[in-house]
Structure 1
Amino acid sequence: MLSYVSLLALGLAVAYAIHTYRCFQTNLTAAKQSGLKYFCTPFYNFNRFWLVTHQLWLPLLNLLPKQWTETWIDYLQPEFIWSKLYGTFENIGSDAFLIVSPGANTLYVADAEAVTQITTRRNDFPKPLGMYAILDLFGKNVVTTEGAVWRHHRKITSPPFTERNNHLVWTESLHQAQSMLTGWVGKDGQESGAVWDVAAQAMRLSLHVISRAGFGVRLQWPHEDSQTQVPEGHTLTYKDALSTLLENIIVVLLTPRWILTHSPLKLHKVANEAFVEWGKYMREMYRAKRAEVQSGESRDGMDLMGALVKGAGITTESLNDSTSSFSPEKNPNGIPSSPSKQLLTDEEILGNAFVFILAGHETAANTIHFSMLFLAMHPASQRRLQTDLDAILGSKPLSAWDYDEDVPKLFGSMCGAVMNEELRLIPPVLGIPKSTPEGKPQGLTLDGKYVTVPGSCNITLNTAALHRNPKYWPHTSEQDLLTFRPERWLRDPRHPQHQHPEEEQKPKPRSANEKEAEAEEQEPEGPDTRPDTSASLHRPPRGSYIPFSDGHRSCLGRRFAQIEILAVLAVIFKTYSVELDVSEYISDAELKTSASRDVKTAVWGKARAESERLLREGMGTIITVQMRRGRVPLRFVRRGEEKFGDFEVPT
């Protein structure tokens, strides 16, 4: 019996090896015919099995002779985009290259013109929906759909993201930023002491903002002494359910539901409870919103849930019509066939509501956290930011800060430059995924040369490399491109490199796809087509700066995030300075009383070096890129009381 089992196992192994070889040869042939530069790896590094187990195999592969592995082993590391940055493109001599493996061909792009072609031609380069299926946690949504179904979702989900509703985002962001700051410095507003959880607190702030602005629920900070009771029928509060779910989101996304429900592991029990509880809260908000619509009431402000309900065709008249069934009838394309029916299912409404929270809170939170860290590491830039804030806001109290008057000035000042520079260096997503349809190669123009992207090819718009491509950014050296220097965004009309690209370039002939794209962008439900940067700041060529993606699939909540970030930076740096904490190297007492300038320089240098190390080695991606291995403590001190305020970064 054993011999038959052995033969079967051997046969399966041989069959798998032959299949793998054939797949590799097919992909290699397509790469050779593409006109693109390429190299090969033995495994597809985004295969789910490899993603889970690569840490077991890489040490073994590293034992092989270096000459066998040196050309490909670094690219089996899922985080190679961050470790390599623009280096691979520079070494290869091209801003686009293919990695060929048995599992798939993958095109990596750091060329602005190619990025624009890919993001404009949405039918030729669709989103790889298989990579997003796990986000259908509560239902299909605008992130996990494509084609006609996506257009339907977008039309319904985009109306709340208007300039009028950004007033509420501004007001709530100011309130939450002040509350977060009070939690650090106390009600007397003195120095904070070492704050080790800046990233977690920024995440909390962002959740508070989207909860209030999007769903009408104001959350409070621990120091605000709010005694929140667990409502009847729940085991967690609203806040605990949401925060716990987001903290355990990868467990929820990757674990089959039946395992999550029945597993005895504490990790699974905690994640499942949060998933179930937040689902209850969303359904309660949905039912409350339907009741509100049915009674004819309305709510001022953004109200994402209300917008989804109304956008789905749920009206006072339809809810009070006893003959209405509210059972959506859909055609084969997934679009409701009758306008009298509900335009989104209940699950799709909940799916969109959840994805707004999931996609919306981390981007702003990460930008706030890393902006504060970078500014603590670069005191001169922090001083310039504070000078601009003084000029814009003067001595006005926080209650008098005005959205219409102040936000455009902040957006075009050093405050906007800090935000843009942080998003240049640490974009929310290091690689934006696209693809080509199965069996349908697509042409691209790359540096004036026509190339062919193979069919069934995965595409990564490599933001980490694109944002460091020397062709597109004012810089003084290669190292300068890797450095936080928000001053590069401040335009100097004396230098041509600071001119706007639309002032430099003549209009190019547009393809039929581009004309169709432009027409769609003019639709009321289309994406916000305003530039990512203020007209008074350096504006890089289209396609070279894509922290919120670009084209039709660009982030609906881009302006929401920008307003939140600007508000928080203004609140903190108008009154306080942020410094690196050095208490691991010197006591607070010695630092205040007896430390010489040389001692201060030495300990600050150590703190800065550790910060740089963690920014290189401690970063990791789950949904967005964050510092996941280690933390940098910061201190918040009143302006004028800085210990390192006049320090300069050594050259």
Structure 2
Amino acid sequence: MTGWTPGSGETARHQTENTPANPFYSYTKPDFAWDKLYAPFKEQGSDCFLIVAPGGITMVVADREAISQITSRRDAFPKPVHFYSGIDQFGKNVVSSEGSYWRHHRKITSPPFNEKNNSLVWQESLHQAQSMMSGWLSRDSITTGPLKDIASQAMRLSLHVISAAGFGVRLQWPHELEDSDIPEGHTMSYKDALSTLLENLIVVMLTPKWILRNSPLKLHKVANECYVEWYKYMREMYVEKREQVESGQDTGGMDLMGALVKGAGVTAKSADDEKNADPEKAAGKPKNQLLTDEEILGNAFVFILAGHETAANTIHFSILLLAMHWGSQKHLQDDLDSILGDKPISEWDYDNDMPRLFGSMCGAVMNEELRLIPPVVGIPKSTLPGKPQGMQLNGQPITVPGGCTITLDTVALHRNPKYWPHENEEDLLEFRPERWILDQSKPNANTDDNTYAEEEGLDFEGPDKRPDTAASLFRPLKDSYVPFSSGYRSCLGRRFAQVEILAVLAVIFKTWSVELDVRDFMSDEEVATASDEQKREAWNKADARARDLLRNGMMTIITIQMRKDKVPMRFVKRGHERFKFG
């Protein structure tokens, strides 16, 4: 079978030939988990091992039972929040806090992420996916032509979805009419301030603010301007929402900023109390306000940051992997036809269609992409200095040293042969969404599960116990599949991301197919007259390039993405495919 097989063939030989004699060296690289996948655990004969170095001890884990103990005992195995100091650009938040402070943030930030508001995410995702495709295609087009950077377009799409569904600001695509006026008091539009901030986030995170303000370097000037501008926009939005809440207006919709303001305890009464308070006695946050202004802005920022990268990565890599696997793409399209029929997108219904997509090949494609390329390849945990912790591993007691950094190795866990249906070891390295499709002739013990049940009343201070996958699909053992983490610290926006991903995939593949672009190996004119054998030869070269970049061109900054180059692709109207390979 032709497919993406990380670590095989030429790639494996290249890695072996360039591996230093000292095997410890390969564990010093930031992305060693992605480089090695499950291999270290197989070599050690254990799904848990320690890396002992002068800078400290790290425990690396790919065992679901160990992960269950670590994620459920949050006080014994806290999140090392110093790893997340870079995202505190506008204030502390639910991601960068721990202990009682985290529980305080979690209780306030969780309520907007409910089933009622997910229908807004569905509608906005359908709209933005259509807008993206219309920017690439005219009404009568049968192909987009080559698209070099689908990853950045997926980022833009996800940014538009979180901005509109979460903050009520609908952003437009370059081909759409838009008001380019910059509001008074600003030097950048909202869209440009936010997108430029995200593009320059590493510079903002790593550079002291006094340097950003005073540096003559263009890089620093741009980073500082977008940082200041986005802060102004968020501050203005906060003041507006605060005034609405103080006057008793219902902000309506998902409205994450309004929810933060209300969750922080701002009411008409608290506003009056604050206005009548003695300013000389007031310090920090207002007396009756549960979050400071900076914490509200900090959470708003992290919602946008975390709310677009995960979904965007999954959309991009799903499209790429489907381009490399025609059989799976055709299976997806057949399922979409069965679920959605000939209904126009305006008639797609969240309550009826979303659960069916979640439990179909569409959900299987999303799950398989997240199995192979989870957004975070290593979820960090720790033990406190001087406080070793006992736990069980394979039924035996072990002790985790105090002051130990712990990495929950998601990419190894998701390839652990103990937990996944597979035909052979190489199969676990391949994109095969069909592994999630259950044998319909056999009863499924999980069919009574209503994965998308009403969520009001969910204990937001406790762990999210809802499953990541539909009952109609293969359901991994608890904590063997953790693309959104697990336990108390699992991702707040998990359902948000799943709804967005499935809606976007449905819009695209209901009408279009995606293909690898082969122009670097065969021109369009040559393709038109080429034999199937010649087309396959050109496609194989494009496929090999894509597999090499997926294996060797990835790097983590906040999430793992393809950094070294891009894989060109093109969309064609269904029925006009030229490369039905893979």
Give the TM-score band, short-chain normalised: over 0.9
Q: Which runs of 5+ in 2 are unaligned?
A: 1-16, 450-456
Aligned to 1:177: 129
Aligned to 1:234: 186
C-alpha distance in 1 between matches for 2:318 and 2:202: 26
Aligned to 2:423: 476
Counterpart among 425, 431, 435 of residue 372 in structure 2: 425
Aligned to 2:513: 577
Alignment of 1:197-216 (within 5 A): 197-216=149-168
What are the superposed Cα offsets for residues 523-545 of structure 1, whole Å, 9 maximum, x if unpaired?
25545421000011101111110
SS in 2 for 1:409: helix
Instruction: Provide TM-score, normalisation by structure 2.
Output: 0.92
What are the superposed Cα offsets for residues 260-289 of structure 1, whole Å, 9 maximum, x if unpaired?
211111111111111111001100000111
Task: After TM superposition, give the deviation of residue 225 of structure 1 in Å.
Answer: 2.5
Q: Is residue 299 of structure 1 aligned with residue 251 of structure 2?
A: yes
> Closer, same or farther in 2 for the Cα pair 1:429/1:327, shift >3 Å?
farther
Alignment of 1:50-449 (within 5 A): 67=21, 69=22, 71-321=23-273, 322-324=275-277, 341-449=288-396
> Closer, same or farther in 2 for the Cα pair 1:396/1:522, shift >3 Å?
closer
Counterpart among 538, 542, 545 of residue 607 in structure 1: 542
Q: Which has the larger radius of gyration?
A: 1
C-alpha distance in 2 between matches for 1:445 and 1:528: 23
C-alpha distance in 2 between matches for 1:262 and 1:169: 40
Judge conservation of contact 2:447–2:471 (CA < 8 Å) in 1.
Answer: no
Instruction: Provide TM-score, normalisation by structure 1.
Output: 0.83
Q: After superposing the two structures, state which structure 1 stretch, 465-474 or 580-589, moved more.
A: 580-589
C-alpha distance in 2 between matches for 1:536 and 1:442: 38
C-alpha distance in 2 between matches for 1:391 and 1:327: 67
Aligned to 1:12: none
C-alpha distance in 2 between matches for 1:494 and 1:554: 34
C-alpha distance in 1 between matches for 2:292 and 2:401: 37
Judge conservation of contact 1:159–1:525 (CA < 8 Å) in 2.
Answer: no
Judge conservation of contact 1:527–1:556 (CA < 8 Å) in 2.
Answer: no
> Closer, same or farther in 2 for the Cα pair 1:464/1:502, shift >3 Å?
farther
C-alpha distance in 1 between matches for 2:448 and 2:118: 28
* Amino acid across the alignment from 2:244: E
* Amino acid across the alignment from 1:489: W
Counterpart among 537, 545, 548 of residue 481 in structure 2: 545
C-alpha distance in 2 between matches for 1:486 and 1:533: 13
Task: After TM superposition, give the deviation of residue 590 of structure 1 in Å.
Answer: 2.0
C-alpha distance in 2 between matches for 1:477 and 1:524: 40
* Amino acid across the alignment from 1:569: L
* Amino acid across the alignment from 2:323: A
Task: After TM superposition, give the deviation of residue 444 of structure 1 in Å.
Answer: 1.4
Judge conservation of contact 2:464–2:488 (CA < 8 Å) in 1.
Answer: no
SS in 2 for 1:246: helix
C-alpha distance in 2 between matches for 1:328 and 1:395: 65
Task: After TM superposition, give the deviation of residue 100 of structure 1 in Å.
Answer: 0.3
Aligned to 1:452: 399
Q: Is residue 523 of structure 1 aligned with residue 459 of structure 2?
A: yes
C-alpha distance in 2 between matches for 1:499 and 1:103: 48
Judge conservation of contact 1:129–1:145 (CA < 8 Å) in 2.
Answer: yes
Q: Is residue 642 of structure 1 aligned with residue 564 of structure 2?
A: no
C-alpha distance in 1 between matches for 2:514 and 2:506: 13
Aligned to 1:622: 557
Task: After TM superposition, give the deviation of residue 623 of structure 1 in Å.
Answer: 0.1
Task: After TM superposition, give the deviation of residue 356 of structure 1 in Å.
Answer: 0.6
Q: Larger relative CO (CA 8 A, sep 6+): 1 or 2? A: 2
C-alpha distance in 2 between matches for 1:186 and 1:120: 52
C-alpha distance in 2 between matches for 1:378 and 1:186: 27
What are the superposed Cα offsets for residues 501-548 of structure 1, whole Å, 9 maximum, x if unpaired?
999xxxxxxxxxxxxxxxxx9625545421000011101111110000
> Closer, same or farther in 2 for the Cα pair 1:66/1:83, shift >3 Å?
closer
C-alpha distance in 1 between matches for 2:145 and 2:96: 43
C-alpha distance in 1 between matches for 2:241 and 2:416: 47
Alignment of 1:485-524 (within 5 A): 485-492=432-439, 523-524=459-460
* Amino acid across the alignment from 2:25: I
C-alpha distance in 2 between matches for 1:522 and 1:379: 40
SS in 1 for 2:276: coil
Aligned to 2:527: 591
C-alpha distance in 2 between matches for 1:66 and 1:177: 46
C-alpha distance in 2 between matches for 1:614 and 1:566: 25
C-alpha distance in 1 between matches for 2:75 and 2:201: 31
Q: Give me the identity figure in percent.
A: 65
What are the superposed Cα offsets for residues 551-577 of structure 1, whole Å, 9 maximum, x if unpaired?
000000000000000000000000000
> Closer, same or farther in 2 for the Cα pair 1:72/1:328, shift >3 Å?
farther
Judge conservation of contact 1:126–1:436 (CA < 8 Å) in 2.
Answer: yes
* Amino acid across the alignment from 1:214: G
Q: CA RMSD in A?
A: 2.2
C-alpha distance in 1 between matches for 2:140 and 2:279: 55
C-alpha distance in 1 between matches for 2:144 and 2:447: 44
What is the number of residues matched between the two proteins?
Answer: 558
> Closer, same or farther in 2 for the Cα pair 1:328/1:83, shift >3 Å?
farther
Counterpart among 506, 513, 535 of residue 471 in structure 2: 535
Judge conservation of contact 1:105–1:457 (CA < 8 Å) in 2.
Answer: yes
C-alpha distance in 2 between matches for 1:87 and 1:224: 48
Judge conservation of contact 1:500–1:540 (CA < 8 Å) in 2.
Answer: no
What are the superposed Cα offsets for residues 297-341 of structure 1, whole Å, 9 maximum, x if unpaired?
2232100000000000101232244425799989xxx9x8x9x61
> Closer, same or farther in 2 for the Cα pair 1:314/1:246, shift >3 Å?
same
SS in 2 for 1:188: coil
Judge conservation of contact 1:420–1:486 (CA < 8 Å) in 2.
Answer: yes
C-alpha distance in 1 between matches for 2:128 and 2:278: 42
Judge conservation of contact 2:142–2:576 (CA < 8 Å) in 1.
Answer: no
Judge conservation of contact 2:241–2:251 (CA < 8 Å) in 1.
Answer: no
Judge conservation of contact 2:95–2:302 (CA < 8 Å) in 1.
Answer: yes
